[in-house]
Homo-oligomer: A and B are copies of this chain.
Amino acid sequence: MDLSPEWVVGFVDGEGCFHVSLHAHPEMTAGYQVIPEFVVVQHIRDVQVLYALKRFFRCGVVRCNHEDRWAFRVRKLDGLTQICAFFEQHHLKTKKLTDFQKFRSILRLMSQKRHLAREGLVEIGEIALSMNTTNRPVLEKIVRSLRPG
């Protein structure tokens, strides 16, 4: 299955997700690890489309997400950099564009190592909170705990 760039943009406008979470990690200076990820979830009947996306972007993994739901997932920084380069060239048409722009700004802060200090981590957490997020209460609690005062 060959995918065209425009098809990929349309499909990601519908089904893609730019997501950033914070996870407790005692070895990190500020106590938390930032995990940005790009995910597309499909029913197992369409797992071939997920493998086609993996070939298209030349990164990521295809794994079972939950029961009959499978996911194409990119977490590695070099893969995410490629994903960003693609969507900078091929613009999303839905409001997912805003999530993508916030996601990209978080990756930039990370490339400046800002996530290694508490202040940068708060900044990243606040951007993540303004995006579509699956686990808002947990993220809110972490960001609150990191804020000075």
Contact = CB atoms under 8 A, between A and B. Distances in A.
Interface residues of A, number: 23
Q: In terms of DSSP, what is the predominant structure of the interface of chain A? A: helix
A49 B94 CA distance: 7
A46 B10 CA distance: 13
A28 B86 CA distance: 53
Interface stretch (A11-19, A77-85, A119-127, A141-149): A11-19
The 7 A-B pairs of least Cβ separation, nearest first, read A14-B14, A10-B10, A6-B6, A10-B11, A7-B10, A14-B15, A6-B7
A4 interface: yes
Nearest to A98: B45
A20 B93 CA distance: 29
Contacts of A13: 7, 10-11, 14, 49
